[in-house]
Amino acid sequence: MLDAKILVIDDNKSVLSALEILLQFEYKTVETISNPNQISSFPDLTDFDIVLLDMNFSAGVNSGNEGLFWLREILKKAPQISIVMMTAYGAIDLAVKALKEGAADFILKPWNNDKLLATVKSAYELRKSKKEFNRLKQKEHNLKQHINQNKNYIIGDSKALSSVLSLVGKVAKTDVNVLVTGENGTGKELIARELHKLSPRNNEVFISVDMGSISENLFESELFGHTKGSFTDAKEDRAGKFEAANGGTLFLDEIGNLSLQTQAKLLSAIQNRTIVPVGSNKPIPVDIRLVCATNVNLDKMVSEGLFREDLLYRINTIRVQAPPLRERGEDVLVLADFYLKKFTSKYGKQGQRINQAAQEKLMSYNWPGNVRELLHAIERAVILSEGSVLKPEDFLLGVNSSISVDSGPETLEEMNMLMITNALNQNNGNYSAAAEQLGISRQTLYNRLKKIGK
């Protein structure tokens, strides 16, 4: 017996009795009503899986319009329900019209029991498919929301930053390719996410790819996908980043790290807006908004023959320059206050503040590592300081800075090790999460661990 609810609507009580007897051995719940006006009193109509609906209810009326009316009314209240129309032989044309209006199928009167059961079973399978489709759509929607959740956001109101955000606001409404340039740690990915958030694609997914962490032999598989058996470890079909970003935004970070060979493959995908998975010969069209980023001078690389000029033209319709922190004035203090609140809460040290002298030190520093360096400086100070007031000596700035023996690591390498270890511990050994917390790529994290022999 199937765990399903069926509602039968017919003004002929003999028909209701016959169907109830026939269906009760196949389905868990079978309810009947003789007057379709009772439909409006069903508060839980969406709980039903199938409705068997007669097409005529008034005596002497055989137009079928009543059935079509109630078909529409039921679908308004429960659009995912499967409705099977019941009609006489002479009204097959009406039944076909009902199918066009949204009915799942129709049954001819008088019916053959086996055919009727088969029709109802098919309607039930259709209902299950609709429910599964809706479940997957909701899951996809929730996943996109989760992926697009951006806990970091652009902070500051300096003239340099405001100018960039103004440009981003104008460009976001279009679908043109954007190249975000700037030094390491200036927040290029945040700018890319802002472009996505302000675009018509903001309800779709934002996919970020660190091009510097993809080895050349896995480039096509990572970006374009692969088919099962296309290489040794290809145990199943897998969609690449282009296909995953379909309908949304694809962000290619550190694009200047690509070899000339991979640049050619990328150019082809961007030009044609199609990709071919490894092991396949079937092109797959993709609809993406492309945003790229780099911290190197691509124009210089073109002149040196290290970067394809035609690829640069493709990705560089609009160029957005992320301003370095040293050009953002008092944004330094705004950011410092933001990260102070974040880390004092994280490490249970609420109430800490930065004194005037320390603020002046932060303002006078050049910040070669930009916002990322400021973030780490604040976190380091919060972790190591034992007082409620952060003083200039709590902020270790520059590569020559060191910590006294009493307060912690003595060298920058030791400090890097401490921060990496802390990040890995806080994220239960999850390298991707630790790398995100540290503001570096997963590959960079691996490289640093390798360098210090871990």
Of residues 299, 320, 44, the one with CA closest to residue 195: 320
Predicted local distance difference test score (pLDDT) of residue 97: 83
Q: For residue range 210-255, what is the model confidence (pLDDT) as tens digits?
A: 998 888 888 999 999 988 888 877 778 888 999 989 999 999 999 9
Please state, in angstroms and rounded to a whole number, the distance separating the CA atoms of residues 380 and 419.
8
Q: For residue range 312-352, what is the model confidence (pLDDT) as tens digits?
A: 999 999 999 999 999 999 999 999 999 999 999 998 988 89
Omega into 110 within 30° of 0, i.e. cis? yes
Largest CA distance in the chain: 100
Percent of the chain whose pLDDT exceeds 70: 87
Residue owning tokens 């953002």: 328
Residues 6+ apart with CB under 8 A from 390: 340, 352, 353, 354, 355, 358, 381, 382
Predicted local distance difference test score (pLDDT) of residue 397: 85
| DSSP per-residue string spanning 94-142 | HHHHHHHHT--EEEEESPPHHHHHHHHHHHHHHHHHHHHHHHHHHHHHH
Return the structure tokens found at 178: 């954007």
Q: Is the pLDDT at 206 greater than 50, yes or no?
A: yes
Mean pLDDT of 405-427: 64
Q: For residues 147 and 23, which has the higher predicted lDDT (pLDDT)? A: 23
The mean pLDDT of the chain is 85
Q: Is the pLDDT at 407 greater than 80, yes or no?
A: no
Please state, in angstroms and rounded to a whole number, the distance separating the CA atoms of residues 366 and 374.
11
Question: Of 282-291, 302-311, 410-419, where does mean pLDDT reach its minimum?
Answer: 410-419
Give the phi and the psi of residue 210 in degrees, each rounded to 5.
-85, 100
Return the structure tokens found at 89: 């032989």
Predicted local distance difference test score (pLDDT) of residue 422: 74
Please state, in angstroms and rounded to a whole number, the distance separating the CA atoms of residues 322 and 191.
8
Please state, in angstroms and rounded to a whole number, the distance separating the CA atoms of residues 159 and 121.
67
Q: For residue range 261-290, what is the model confidence (pLDDT) as tens digits?
A: 999 999 999 999 999 999 988 899 999 999
First to last CA, the chain: 60
Q: For residue range 11-65, what is the model confidence (pLDDT) as tens digits?
A: 888 999 999 999 988 998 998 998 888 887 776 788 889 999 988 876 555 667 8
The reported pTM is: 0.62
Please state, in angstroms and rounded to a whole number, the distance separating the CA atoms of residues 430 and 74.
50
- For 327, other C-beta atoms within 10 Å of its C-beta total 13
Predicted local distance difference test score (pLDDT) of residue 158: 95
Sign of the dihedral defined by the CA atoms of residues 67, 110, 18, 57, in that order? positive
Please state, in angstroms and rounded to a whole number, the distance separating the CA atoms of residues 285 and 246.
9
Q: Which residue ranges form the domains of the chain, and what is each CATH number?
A: 2-141 (3.40.50.2300), 159-323 (3.40.50.300), 324-401 (1.10.8.60), 412-454 (1.10.10)
- For 146, other C-beta atoms within 10 Å of its C-beta total 9
Q: Is the pLDDT at 358 greater than 90, yes or no?
A: yes
